């Protein structure tokens, strides 16, 4: 899986020239959408099928500042999927492989009416695909 690459924009920095912390959360969303697309799970397609996947939790540990116009490579991995919640981890690194942030996000799956989706029963192919993406930890 190739990492998502984001170039820090000038408008993403604060008065000190450092990337504002809120932008890392936006980059996580960009990387998540890209990751799922690479896996054949297009967000727009999921929404057309009647599935929405809101973020219900985010945690980000900032390790090193970035500035305009740094390039940040973001890798995404599925830590867990229990049929109700999808747990993703993100590692953000500079071109010289220095870690700038480590993060996690948690997502659920709802139908258009906002009711939880029983993934295994209602969308078995999607359920199996997401289960197959869970990375084994040693």
- Per-residue pLDDT tens digits for 65-81: 999 999 999 999 999 99
Q: Are 130 and 88 in contact (CB under 8 A)?
A: no
Q: What is the mean pLDDT of residues 84-90?
A: 97
Share of the chain above pLDDT 90, in %: 93
Residue 34: is the preceding peptide bond cis (ω within 30°)? no
CB 15 within 8 A of CB 8: no
Active site residues: 14
DSSP string, 59-90: EEEE-S--BTT-EEEEEEEEEEE-SSEEEEEE
Q: How far apart are the first and last CA of the chain?
A: 20
118-to-43, 79, 126 alpha-carbon distances in Å: 18, 20, 11
Give the pLDDT band (50/70/90) at residue 135.
confident
- What tokens were used for 98? 């220095």
Residue 136 has a pLDDT of: 63
Kindly state the tokens that stand for 34.
Answer: 């890209």
CB 102 within 8 A of CB 75: no
Class of 4-133 in CATH: alpha beta
Average pLDDT, the chain: 95
pTM: 0.93
- Of 136 and 112, the structure prediction assigns the larger pLDDT to 112
Q: In the chain, where are the structural domains located?
A: 4-133
List, for residues 1-41, the tens digit of each pLDDT value.
899 999 999 999 999 999 999 999 999 999 999 999 999 99
């Amino acid at each position: 899986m190739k990492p998502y690459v984001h170039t820090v924009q000038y408008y993403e920095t604060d008065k000190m020239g450092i990337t504002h912390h809120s932008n890392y959360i936006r980059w996580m969303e960009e990387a998540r959408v890209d990751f799922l697309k690479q896996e054949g799970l297009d967000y727009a397609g999921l929404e057309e099928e009647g599935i929405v996947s809101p973020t219900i939790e985010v945690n980000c540990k900032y390790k090193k500042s970035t500035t305009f116009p740094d390039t940040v490579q973001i890798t995404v991995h599925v830590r867990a999927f229990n049929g109700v919640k999808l747990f993703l981890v993100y590692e953000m690194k500079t071109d010289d492989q220095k870690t700038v942030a480590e993060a996690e996000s948690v997502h659920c799956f709802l139908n258009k009416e906002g009711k939880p989706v029983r993934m295994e029963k209602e969308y078995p192919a999607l359920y199996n695909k997401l289960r197959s993406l869970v990375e084994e930890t040693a």
